[in-house]
Amino acid sequence: RSARLGGIGTTIFAEMSALAAQTGAINLGQGFPDEDGPEVIRQAARDAITAGRNQYAPGTGIAPLREAIARHQRRFHGIELDPAREVVVTTGATEAVAAALLGLVNPGDDVLVLEPYYDSYRAVIQMAGARHVAITLRAPDFRLPVDELRAAVTPRTSAIVLNTPHNPTGSVLTPQELAAVAEVAIEHDLVVVSDEVYEHLAFARPHVPIATLPGMAERTVTISSAGKTFSFTGWKIGWATGPADLVDALMGAKQFLTYTSGTPFQPAIATALDLPDEFFTRLRDGLRERRDLLCAGLSDAGFDVFVPEGTYFATTDVAPLGFADGLELCRALPRLAGVVAVPHQVFHDDRPDGSNPGRTLVRWAFCKRTEVLEEAVERLRALR
Ligand code: PMP
Ligand code: GLN
């Protein structure tokens, strides 16, 4: 292993999904839906394969998909984009984040991230030779501590990785919080890499892309993915949008990471992006109902529950049930209750004194069928 992987272990999602597969436990760990997206979209992918669209697509993605992404950004967010120069198709949001950071951040730079952070951010920042600087969203509200964000900026800071709706806390940034981030970014001339994969899963308040704030379009790369919005996480089609110079830098890295992304999925996702508004509303409303079901069940089981404002993850504190360590609990949970979840602590930096703000926090995915969630909460009641 190279030095650039120092301290980077196996991602928690691989560990916990393997545990679920080995034990047959209900997997509320890794965030993927247990029902696929619409049949018309699956058919569109089959049609593309049958029609022989099985060789390399252009590196930036097929034009109809780039155009559909631009239409989506206009329809939902009022963002105008040139599909030829300001949109790139990527192999999931994961690649978009990696390519953006590799293409835009210099070795030795500081990059601000909201903690708890999606695990790939920290790994990629390290691989880019930069340093992540955590701004901690703390329970119970997981609000952005704006003063701490301002205080964290150094002369080396070059970028902020934003994520709203936020995985794993479920927080949706408020207009005030977004304005504060924008103010800091403009004042210090920072690039913002904004991971908005849960853009259609905001329950408490509308999701607002930071690129829509004054002065932000020219410094923001906005990232999303077909995985979450259309329930095709395994297709790994994502995208990045933003000003041509930033997208070009991202593409400079992407061309040598994967060069291009799965061809037959691209026309299918172009079709998906043009689905009527009701599709997106129903997705959100259906998940809100399942959020409420899971949160009520977790609360009945004796956990402290932090009801998420967005995403498809709910966070609990497991301390009220006598558990002192969320990672240990998650490793034992298949045996104790036949369920798999994900501990928050791996998305936090260990503090110099050995403490960790996420030590007793555990995340549960509710992008599962109602009967699966009902069975999971029934099993979890045994922990009391
Ligand atoms: N960012 C966040 C915040 C996520 O939760 C995920 C998981 N979907 C990703 C990025 C990665 O998305 P993809 O599967 O499209 O690579
Ligand atoms: N984004 C999903 C989650 O947060 C899983 C992605 C992954 O396995 N890397 O659970």
Average confidence (pLDDT) over 1-28: 96
Average confidence (pLDDT) over 106-112: 98
**The predicted structure's pLDDT at residue 264:** 98
Whether ligand 2 lies within 6 angstroms of the CB of 233 is answered as no
Average confidence (pLDDT) over 163-186: 98
Pair type for strands 339-340 and 220-225: unpaired
Residue 354, sorted as left (phi over 0), alpha (psi -120 to 50) or beta, turns out to be left
> Residue 202 gets which letter from DSSP?
B
**The predicted structure's pLDDT at residue 1:** 92
Task: Express the helix, strand and coil content of the chain in percent, nearest 5 each.
Answer: 45, 15, 40
Average confidence (pLDDT) over 291-307: 98
Q: What does the alpha-carbon distance between residue 65 and residue 71 come to, in Å, rounded to a whole number?
A: 10
Mean pLDDT of the chain: 98
pLDDT in tens, 243-292: 999 999 999 999 999 999 999 999 999 999 999 999 999 999 999 999 99
**Pair 312, 35: CB distance under 8 Å:** no
Going from the Cα of 197 to the center of ligand 2, the distance in angstroms, rounded, reads: 11
Q: What does the alpha-carbon distance between residue 366 and residue 311 come to, in Å, rounded to a whole number?
A: 9
The angle subtended at Cα 113 by Cα 112 and Cα 116, nearest 5°, is 150
Query: Residues 349-363, buried b or exposed e (16+ Cβ, 10 A)?
Result: beeeeeebbbbbbbb
Nearest to 31 by CA among 50, 12, 56, 47: 12
pLDDT in tens, 190-242: 999 999 999 999 999 999 999 999 999 999 999 999 999 999 999 999 999 99
For the domain spanning 55-273, the CATH number is 3.40.640.10
Q: What is the separation of C-alpha 211 from the centre of its chain, rounded to a whole number of angstroms?
A: 17
Going from the Cα of 159 to the center of ligand 1, the distance in angstroms, rounded, reads: 19
Percentage of the chain beyond pLDDT 90 is 99
Tokens of 48: 């593309």
Cβ neighbors of 186 (< 8 A, separation 6 or more) are 215, 216, 219
Q: Which pLDDT band, with edges at 50, 70 and 90, does 79 fall under? A: very high
Residue at token pair 């402290």: 304
Q: Is the pLDDT of residue 141 over 90?
A: yes
Going from the Cα of 296 to the center of ligand 1, the distance in angstroms, rounded, reads: 26
**The predicted structure's pLDDT at residue 72:** 98
Architecture of domain 3-30+278-383: Alpha-Beta Complex (3.90)
Q: What does the alpha-carbon distance between residue 125 and residue 131 come to, in Å, rounded to a whole number?
A: 6
Average confidence (pLDDT) over 313-322: 98
Site to probe by mutation for ligand 2, drawn from 8, 10, 13, 28 as the one with most ligand atoms within 8 Å of Cβ, is 13
What pTM was estimated for this model as a whole? 0.98
Q: Is the pLDDT of residue 156 over 90?
A: yes
Percentage of the chain beyond pLDDT 70 is 100
> Residue 257 gets which letter from DSSP?
H
Q: What does the alpha-carbon distance between residue 11 and residue 31 come to, in Å, rounded to a whole number?
A: 13
Instruction: Judge residue 40's burial from the number of C-beta atoms within 10 Å of its C-beta, 0-12 exposed, 13-18 middle, 19 or more buried.
Output: exposed
pLDDT in tens, 331-371: 999 999 999 999 999 999 999 999 999 999 999 999 999 99
Q: How far apart are the first and last CA of the chain?
A: 43
Pair type for strands 342-343 and 361-365: antiparallel
The phi and psi torsions of 191 (rounded to 5 degrees) equal -85, 140
Tell me the ligand closest to 30's alpha carbon. Answer: 2
Nearest CA to ligand 1 atom 5: 167
Going from the Cα of 94 to the center of ligand 2, the distance in angstroms, rounded, reads: 9
The closest-lying atom of ligand 1 relative to the alpha carbon of residue 233 is 14
Q: Is the pLDDT of residue 384 over 90?
A: no
**The predicted structure's pLDDT at residue 306:** 98
Whether ligand 1 lies within 6 angstroms of the CB of 195 is answered as yes
Q: How is the chain split into domains, by residue range?
A: 3-30+278-383, 55-273
Q: What does the alpha-carbon distance between residue 209 and residue 289 come to, in Å, rounded to a whole number?
A: 25
**The predicted structure's pLDDT at residue 102:** 98
Site to probe by mutation for ligand 2, drawn from 169, 233, 362 as the one with most ligand atoms within 8 Å of Cβ, is 233
pLDDT in tens, 45-66: 999 999 999 999 999 999 999 9
